Amino acid sequence: MKNIAPKLPIEEYEKNFADLHPPLTPNSAVAEANRCLYCYDSPCMKACPTHIDISTFIKKISTGNLLGSAKTILESNWIALTCAKACPVNILCEGACVYNEKGEKPIEIGKLQRFAMDNYFAKGMPSIFNKATKNNKSVGIIGSGPAGLACGAELSLLGYDATIYEANKIPGGLCTWGIAPYKMRREDSLKEVAMVKSFGVEIKTEMMVGKEIKVDELIKKHDAIFLGVGLGESPQLSVTGENLSGVIGALEFIEKVKTENWKDVPVGKRVAVIGAGNTSIDAATEAKRLGAEQVFIIYRRSEVEMSAYEFEYELAKKDGIVFHFLTAPKKIVGEKFVEGIECLKMRLGEPDNRGRRRPVSIPGTEFTIPVDMVIKAIGQETKSSFLGSIPNLTLDTDGCVIVDQNTFQTANPKIFAGGDCINGGKEVVNAAYDGKRAAHGIDSYLSNQTKGGN
């Protein structure tokens, strides 16, 4: 990179990456819990993909039963601290709160969940769950992200020997490496990893399946396999100059930021982020908070079509991010280093097969934005080459694993899957639900095998 943004004082980094949503105090938590109406039909519970019994856990906070509250939460969601901090609660549980209909502020469900979970971890993760007797069956889990952790925790309590195989040195997947630190710090994810390990789940790190250990070996070694491999990096932009110094994938950039060695993360003075999803917003705001003077988000469709949530969009605008809508990159300019990005104005044409209007280039509208760094954030690709190497696995046209929606079993009866590898990329909470439900699918399958079923 040619022009690197000047380093900031350490206290400024700490301020820039401070918690976006500070925790509730004990008094404010009780006061907020007492606002809950404990609705008989619990629309908040229905809106939660893991269906946490929200009214009950909030009621327990109001009576001072914090361990009981944590137990209620964990019975539905094994990565509840992550979800409390990183879930789009205003879209999900809080968005369904009846106070919205009254024109009043919804119950701060995310903060209350965090309050209960912070207390649980501060108390040293007391034993509040009973484990079933060991059944002498084992399950291999590929990936220690939210789906893998949830599957491992549930299986262990059901009596299985669960082993997670993780390619990275530090486990936790997206929760550890992919969520902006002003939303959630790495140590929060590692607390959940420690909890899952405390149930007896073994996590083998630096074990890339297909390299350190073959898929066939795992299939022979375990009675069942769960795939929770997540997604890979952003696809290529397929433009000239993409290999110049200063071009980086969004996930790679975010991983560097998540180490929290902020002064060691190189960032350009002027940064362009390609794409307008939630990951794009994270990368853009992180670049600005690292000291970039100007950050641009370049998106080929309009503001209406962008996939980033409204609150993420507002955060980016608050941070001074400049949006170039109906704009597509044509080429990255420079000899050895990024010096600029040449763009083309777009218009929206006919809808594509997903119903979104196709962006069409407008000839003769080229213009160049001087930048020192380009961050690619145009979605993530499935690990289709790895998934395609697994025997008798069926993938859809997007490279996602096809599963039974009730059991999460694949076309290979011994293999189950959940999380981003089956849905192409949803929320962390969806992956937590998939992992838990898949554990019960595995239990049903193996129990049936023991009884001599098909």
Give the pairing type, strands 340-351 and 357-361.
antiparallel
- Residue 112, phi-psi category: left (phi > 0), alpha (psi -120 to 50), beta (remainder): alpha
> Residues spanned by CATH 1.10.1060.10 within the chain?
34-122
Q: What CATH number does domain 138-232+381-450 carry, 3.90.550.10, 3.40.50.10490, 3.50.50.60, 3.30.360.10?
A: 3.50.50.60
Decide: 422 and 400 in contact? Cβ < 8 Å: yes
Q: In the block, which residue shows the tokens 């079933």?
A: 132
CA–centroid distance for 354 within its chain = 23
Neighbouring CB atoms inside 10 A of 448's CB total 11
Neighbouring CB atoms inside 10 A of 257's CB total 22
The neighbouring-strand residues paired with 345 are: 327
Decide: 1 and 245 in contact? Cβ < 8 Å: yes
Residues 6+ apart with CB under 8 A from 150: 77, 78, 79, 431, 432, 433, 434, 435, 436, 439
- Residue 209, phi-psi category: left (phi > 0), alpha (psi -120 to 50), beta (remainder): beta
| Backbone Cα Rg of the chain | 23
Q: Which helix (H) or strand (E) holds 270?
A: strand 270-274
Domain 247-376, CATH homologous superfamily name and number: FAD/NAD(P)-binding domain (3.50.50.60)
Long-range Cβ contact pairs of 45-50 (< 8 A, separation 24 or more): 45/93, 46/96, 47/92, 47/93, 47/95, 47/96, 48/76, 48/92, 48/93, 48/429, 49/92, 49/427, 49/429, 49/430, 49/432, 49/433, 50/76, 50/77, 50/83, 50/429, 50/432, 50/433, 50/436
Q: Which helix (H) or strand (E) holds 232?
A: none
Q: Which of 73, 56, 75, 88 is nearest to 282 (CA)?
A: 88
Q: What is the predicted pLDDT for the residue at 357?
A: 87
> Residues spanned by CATH 3.50.50.60 within the chain?
138-232+381-450, 247-376
CA 30/CA 63 separation, integer angstroms: 8
Query: Mapped to the 3 state alphabet, what secondary structure does 396-424 carry?
Result: CCCCCECCCCCCCECCCCCEEECCHHHHC
Q: Which of 198, 196, 172 is nearest to 185 (CA)?
A: 172
CA 359/CA 348 separation, integer angstroms: 5
Q: What is the predicted pLDDT for the residue at 452?
A: 64
Domain spanning 34-122: CATH 1.10.1060.10? yes
Decide: 401 and 422 in contact? Cβ < 8 Å: yes
- Residue 255, phi-psi category: left (phi > 0), alpha (psi -120 to 50), beta (remainder): alpha
Q: In the block, which residue shows the tokens 């109906």?
A: 326
Average pLDDT by consecutive 10-residue portion of the chain (454 residues)?
A: 91 95 96 96 96 98 98 98 96 97 97 98 95 96 97 98 96 93 94 98 95 93 96 84 95 93 95 95 97 97 92 95 97 96 96 85 97 92 83 90 97 96 93 98 92 60
- Give me the DSSP letters along 159-228: T-EEEEE-SSSS--THHHHTS-TTT--HHHHHHHHHHHHHTT-EEE-S--BTTTB-HHHHHHHSSEEEE-
**For residue 355, which amino acid is it?**
G
Token pair belonging to 346: 């777009």
Decide: 215 and 392 in contact? Cβ < 8 Å: no
